[in-house]
């Protein structure tokens, strides 16, 4: 059986190791770029228009505004809620949250503290909003350079706009 000379074996090993470093380095760089591109790089603003049906079939509706700041770890929510009896409540809060990245576009979040502003009168009535925003999952999908689709615990969904 033919054996390669010792210096040739070293060259082949060196070239194969360099090639594998280049391939895996490129894959790691592409993954890092994807992580960077899939999350909003600035505070994004969204209009909220949602319908929530509880287990007993009662429908809550809401309209308002939201902003998400990934760098500062803040979510601002301001919207009007209507319960099934058509009574109106105002939900006006700032949530200090901790984001933990799961993959390119999904984040686990935990609400560290919530600032309830004076005008908020929904605390005793909209318990589903408290549960759904104390922690859970937020997903971003990029539509364009300035738009991100968001989904927070399947309660708040829509398009978030990043000002240019």
Residues 27 and 78 in one domain: no
Distance CA 114, CA 131 (A): 12
Residues 69 and 102 in one domain: yes
Residues 26 and 88 in one domain: no
Residues 48 and 125 in one domain: yes
Query: How many structural domains compose the chain?
Result: 2
pLDDT tens for each residue of the chain, 164 residues long: 677 677 778 888 889 999 999 999 898 888 777 666 666 777 899 998 888 887 777 888 889 999 999 889 999 999 898 888 888 989 888 999 999 988 878 999 999 998 888 888 887 777 777 777 888 999 988 888 788 899 988 888 889 998 87
Alpha helix positions (H), the chain? 6-37, 127-133
CB 40 within 8 A of CB 160: yes
Residues 89 and 28 in one domain: no
Residues 8 and 81 in one domain: no
pTM score of the predicted model: 0.70
Residues 51 and 30 in one domain: no
Note down the domain range covering 117: 44-161
**Bridge partners, 141 (sequence order):** 149
């Amino acid at each position: 059986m033919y054996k390669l000379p010792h210096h040739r074996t070293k060259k082949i090993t060196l070239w194969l190791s360099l090639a594998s470093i280049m391939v895996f380095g490129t894959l790691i760089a592409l993954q890092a770029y994807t992580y960077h591109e899939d999350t909003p790089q600035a505070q994004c603003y969204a209009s909220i228009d949602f319908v929530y049906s509880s287990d007993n079939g009662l429908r809550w509706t809401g309209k308002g505004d939201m902003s998400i700041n990934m760098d500062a770890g803040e979510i601002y929510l301001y919207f009007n809620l209507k319960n099934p009896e058509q009574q109106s409540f105002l939900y006006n809060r700032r949530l200090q949250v901790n984001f933990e990245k799961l993959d390119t576009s999904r984040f686990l979040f935990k609400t560290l503290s919530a600032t309830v502003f004076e005008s908020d009168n929904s605390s005793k009535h909209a318990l589903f909003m408290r549960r759904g925003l104390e922690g859970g999952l937020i997903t971003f999908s990029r539509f364009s350079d300035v738009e991100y689709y968001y989904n927070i615990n399947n309660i708040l969904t829509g398009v978030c706009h990043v000002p240019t």
